[in-house]
Chain A
Amino acid sequence: MWATAWHDGGVDDHAFIDAIRAGDREAFGLLVDRESAAVYRTCVRILGRQHDAEDVTQESFVAAFRALASYRGDGPPRAWLLRIATRQAYRRLSQRRPTAELEAAGEVALADAGADPQRVVAAVETRDEVRDAVAALPEPYREVLSLRFFGELSLAEVAEATGRPLGTVKTHLRRGLERLRPLVAAGGADR
């Protein structure tokens, strides 16, 4: 039912969200089809390693399915999913071995920067610098910045996903960015 309605462009968001909250597996399957790419991209930006991002994307959907009762349905499902995914990704990051960080940096750089060694090195340094700087932020700044920039959510969506007032989210965004000022001071190549 949901798949057909989705292909016909006739999905009613409210009915869709209600079906997800009621544990409708078909509706949740459609949610996987719609949002897995966004969740995966967010995980890659946090983890820097495609293999880990795949695992965490899968784990995030499973965790979301198990926690359907906690989904209030007052915001877009993507924001709710991405909040779960960012938490799972940072948990994975905290468990990672130091050598795995180097492997992750090299894997991402080789995949995205092409064969030019100088560009690979620059990309590795820049990406690790940004990713590490955000990962080192305390909560709630890390969560807000990750959802806003890595998850590409609007501030209103971040507010809905986290259950915080919009003004509070803006404050967290500003304070988080202030803590990242050294990034700008240090410069660095952004392709």
Chain B
Amino acid sequence: MSRYPYGPDELDRNDPELDEVAQRLERYSDNRRGEPPVGLAARIHAAIDDEPDPARGWWQSLIAGPRTWRPMMRTMAVAGVAALAVVGALAVAQLIGDVPPNVGASPSPEVIESPSELPSASPSPTASPSPSPSPSPTVAPTSVPTAPPASSPLPTATDDDDDDDDDETPEPSESDDNSGSGGGGGDDDD
């Protein structure tokens, strides 16, 4: 007798001839209900014992423990070295490519320098201490040493309180460093 005897409802339709075919297959199987020979299970056990540990999915290897991590770590190390090589090659290529053409971020400082030269001309950076009012707006964005007036656009609120030049010179650099948090705070307050 089968574990699950065939029933006509399995076909979702009434077809006595198909039922008869199915019953014939079932009778065939019922006639072949012999037990396996003694020792077959032991033979299978021996065959399994000779097998290496089965291949697993990566998540199971992760759970299984450090013994199985080694190949994964090796793979990750190789991938890391390859990634570094690619990044290095890109950096070198970018360095080489920066010199002749004006590509990427390099033109922005050149553009800033050129307007400073146009209105105030070359003496402006050297004469920065003397003609403070006129060149100050043009010089301000260009160079850090002449930054005293340049700091005015960035920290507007603090400039009203601090008028000292010595205090203002480091501020642009500090404001650049803290631009993330400080700017964010200012925006939130507004």
Contacts and interface: CB of A to CB of B under 8 A. Distances in A.
B11 interface: yes
A36 B39 CA distance: 11
A108 B51 CA distance: 32
Interface residues of A, number: 53
Interface of B: 2-4, 6, 10-13, 15, 17-18, 20-22, 24-29, 31-37, 40-41, 43-45, 47-49, 51, 53-57, 60, 63-64
Question: Chain A at the B interface: mostly helix, strand, loop or mixed?
Answer: helix
Choose among B2, B3, B36, B45 the residue with the greatest number of A CB atoms under 10 Å from its CB.
B36
B42 to A, nearest CB: 9
Interface string A61-105: 110011111000000000000000000000000000000000000
Nearest to B28: A130
Contacts of B20: 184
B26 A32 contact: no
Interface in A4-46: 21-23, 25, 28-29, 32-33, 36-37, 40-41, 44-45
A112 B31 contact: yes
A66 B45 contact: no
23 contacts: A22-B56, A33-B41, A41-B32, A41-B34, A44-B34, A54-B37, A57-B36, A58-B40, A58-B44, A58-B47, A65-B51, A66-B51, A69-B55, A108-B32, A112-B32, A126-B28, A131-B28, A152-B4, A153-B3, A170-B11, A174-B11, A181-B21, A191-B31
